[in-house]
A = this chain, B = another copy of it.
Amino acid sequence: MPHRKSPPQIITLLSDFGLRDSFVAEMKGRLLSLCPDAVLVDISHEIEPGDIAAGAFVLGHAYRAFPPGTIHVAVVDPGVGGKRKPLILSAQRHYFIGPDNGLFTQPASGGPSYRAFEILPCGQSPAPTFHGRDLFAPAAAALACGRAPSRLGRRLEKIKLLEHWRPVPLARDRGWQGRIVVCDRFGNLLTNLPGNLLAAMSKPVLRVGRCVIGRWVRTYCEAAPGHLCALVNSQGLIEIFLREDSARNKTRWPKDTTVELLPTFHK
Q: How far is the CA of A218 from the CA of B126 in the complex (A)?
A: 12
This chain's copy number in the assembly: 3
Q: Please tell me if the beta carbons of B44 and A28 are within 8 angstroms of each other in the complex.
A: no
Among B26, B50, B66, B185, point to the contact of A20 (Cβ < 8 A).
B185
Q: How far is the CB of A89 from chain B (nearest CB, A)?
A: 18
Q: Please tell me if the beta carbons of A219 and B62 are within 8 angstroms of each other in the complex.
A: no
Among B29, B59, B220, point to the contact of A41 (Cβ < 8 A).
B29
Q: Please tell me if the beta carbons of B129 and A234 are within 8 angstroms of each other in the complex.
A: yes
Q: Please tell me if the beta carbons of A41 and B41 are within 8 angstroms of each other in the complex.
A: no
Q: How far is the CB of A187 from chain B (nearest CB, A)?
A: 8
Among B22, B43, B50, point to the contact of A62 (Cβ < 8 A).
B22
Contact indicator per residue, chain A 164-202, by CB within 8 Å of chain B (1) or not (0): 000000000000000000101110000000000000000
Q: How far is the CB of A56 from chain B (nearest CB, A)?
A: 11
Q: A20-B185, A65-B25, A66-B33 are in contact. Are A80 and B220 (CB under 8 A)?
A: yes
Which residues of the other chain, B, contact A40 by a CB distance below 8 angstroms?
Answer: 41
Q: Please tell me if the beta carbons of B65 and A133 are within 8 angstroms of each other in the complex.
A: yes
Interface of A is mostly: loop
A130 close to B (CB within 8 Å): yes
Q: A29-B62, A65-B33, A234-B134 are in contact. Are A222 and B82 (CB under 8 A)?
A: yes
Contact indicator per residue, chain A 41-53, by CB within 8 Å of chain B (1) or not (0): 1111111011000
Q: Please tell me if the beta carbons of B234 and A18 are within 8 angstroms of each other in the complex.
A: no
Among B25, B63, B64, point to the contact of A42 (Cβ < 8 A).
B25
Listed residue (A66, A182, A220, A234) with the most chain B CB atoms within 10 angstroms of its CB: A234
Q: How far is the CA of A128 from the CA of B45 in the complex (A)?
A: 27
Q: Please tell me if the beta carbons of B81 and A219 are within 8 angstroms of each other in the complex.
A: yes
A32 close to B (CB within 8 Å): yes
Q: Please tell me if the beta carbons of A32 and B17 are within 8 angstroms of each other in the complex.
A: no
A112 close to B (CB within 8 Å): no
A-B contact pairs, 9 of them (CB 8 A): A8-B36, A8-B37, A19-B45, A21-B185, A25-B41, A28-B41, A29-B66, A79-B221, A82-B219
